[in-house]
Amino acid sequence: MFTGIVEEIGVIRQIRRGAHSSVLTIGADTVLSDLKIGDSVAVNGVCLTATSLGSDSFTADVMHETLRRSSLGSLAPGSRVNLERAMAANGRFGGHIDGTGRIASTRRDDNAVWYTVETPAPLLRYIVEKGSITIDGISLTVATVEQDRFSVSVIPHTAQVTILGEKGPGDTVNLETDIIGKYVEKLLQPAPEPTGSRGVTLEFLAENGF
């Protein structure tokens, strides 16, 4: 599990592409302080596993499916990325993203930077006004929701210390929706029909005129 509070901005040092996966080398500082091989790191909100550690970098394997379904596929050497270690609770937990969106517009006022993000319908159904949304690993509050998009506002500090401040119209971002909506949706679905010996016995009795 991740908090959505970015710890630092890392830099892609190298991308080695293979037949089925790629290896990212990511320059970092803060997240290396207690990172171990096998630990999870959110890279722009995508949970990756550290496969090797250096004095100022770590590597992570990324399947091509992950590259295809997230904004990680557009990374190149020199790209800056948001980094966060998994939340500690006598151990660290992993996370995921639900899909991607595209920044449609941005605007600034005296106290905030506003982002409007175009979003596929399967994701937008879980996004509600005043609810939570994670964009590139940054936990934010939804300001408005429209037919095919939503908007958020961030304080200037958040824009400055994350890569969100470097993104603009046309850029792809990773999205993770609030899990509560998914639980509610599942609980509202009809319960499965009871099975087992009791169901078989009742059917047997009915078929035989009891």
> How far is residue 7's CA from residue 132's CA, in Å, rounded to a whole number?
19
CA distances (Å), origin 189, targets 91, 126, 186: 34, 16, 5
Q: Does the pTM exceed 0.85? A: no
Lowest mean pLDDT among 18-22, 173-177, 197-201: 197-201
Most confident of 23-32, 90-99, 199-208: 23-32
Report the C-alpha gap between 137 and 123 in whole angstroms: 16
**Residue indicated by tokens 């119209």:** 169
Structure tokens at 204: 């047997």
Neighbours of 27 (CB within 10 A): 18
**Amino acid letter, 107:** R
Span 42-90, pLDDT tens digits = 999 898 989 999 999 999 989 888 888 899 999 999 999 999 987 665 5
The secondary structure of 164-184 as a DSSP string is GGG--TT-EEEEEE-HHHHHH
3-state secondary structure of 59: strand
* Two structure tokens written together for 77: 């050497």
